[in-house]
Amino acid sequence: MRNPQLNDAGELTHLLSTDGLPREVITQILDTASSFLEISTRDVKKVPLLRGKSVFNLFFENSTRTRTTFEIAAKRLSADVINLDVSRSSTAKGETLLDTIDNLVAMHADMFVVRHASSGAPYLIAEHLQRVGRDDVHVVNAGDGRHAHPTQGLLDMFTIRHYKQDFSQLTVAIVGDILHSRVARSDLHALAALGTGEVRAVGPQTLLPSALDKMGVRVCHDLATGLRDADVIIMLRLQNERMNGALLPSAREYFHCYGLTPAMLALAKPDAIVMHPGPMNRGVEIDSEVADGPQAVILPQVTFGIAVRMAVMSILAGN
């Protein structure tokens, strides 16, 4: 079955998920992002690669960090950026998602950046565009339900490669609410594609999906076991808005069992890095001393995110 993200030549035409994304394409994105990093240090932080192109940000779910970094990335590529006010859009008045897309395509949209609470919404848009013969319009998934958040996964890979270089020698621990996390899913698929040495999923049984072992992931219910000798630690917040019922006794007890404290961090390798996709809940999944400490690379992740999103959009526009 053809990957809906790739054209017949195997080139990226939409970014919908890291699942099934070839290693060569991931590497292309990371290499391209590296070339964009220095743009942020210039007096004029712009290149003309998307000049004359219109990028529509369609965020049907609240977001500050992701929407802002996409907007900055598109503007640094010299695109025209249109932020749709979903609360006042026609979809709030009963118009279907695909009718909204058709109207925006008629306004000469070149790219849609889509965040939606429903898993699969970006796929639906991409399939519709192909069906109506608009292969020149591209879709970037900025997070869909519990399914995927590919640009976050890619910026996480960029961060790991920046600090650690060779994935094959690394032990990466992903800690927390993996069951409800689209970031975790995107990270797991990307880490597998890049040939990571060992990947661990760490958390209570109620917050870990089944069949992780079939993906080659080592499951750890004990935090100390999961962190021991890790090179990279990715902390996740509790996705309370996506939980059905109480899966944990309390946030306080969760922190006691799975919170990343200086004592727990000491079990990892001395040069281990600590990552977090944000927003952080201090005192729930991570201690402030760790979040603000020398091993945390949480703010560089945000900076790298702009370069990675620039890379994705520039590659899509060129295919």
Q: Residues marked as binding for carbamoyl phosphate?
A: 65-66, 115, 149, 152, 278-279
Annotated binding-site ranges: 65-66, 93, 115, 149, 152, 182, 237, 278-279
Tokens (6 digits) for 275 = 């990552």
Query: Is the Cα dihedral 261, 262, 264, 270 positive or negative?
Result: positive
Instruction: Return all residues near 251 (Cβ < 8 A) that are at least 6 apart.
Output: 238, 281, 284
- Report the distance separating Cα 10 and Cα 5, nearest Å: 9
Residues making up the binding site for L-aspartate: 93, 182, 237
Instruction: Determine the Cα–Cα distance for residues 178 and 207; give it in Å rounded to an integer.
Output: 6
Of 185, 169, 166, nearest to 177 by C-alpha is 185
Report d(CA 187, CA 218) in Å as an integer.
Answer: 14
Tokens of 192: 């597998």
Helix (H) or strand (E) holding 273, with range, is strand 273-275
**In sequence order, what are the residues at sequence separation of 6 or more whose Cβ sits closer than 8 angstroms to the Cβ of residue 266?**
none
- The kind and range of the H/E element at 285 are none
Burial class (CB in 10 A: 0-12, 13-18, 19+), 108: exposed
- How far is it, in rounded angstroms, from Cα 209 to Cα 129? 32
Q: Please give the Cα distance from 56 to 82 (Å, whole number).
A: 5
3-state secondary structure of 135: coil
Residue keyed to tokens 């890291």: 18
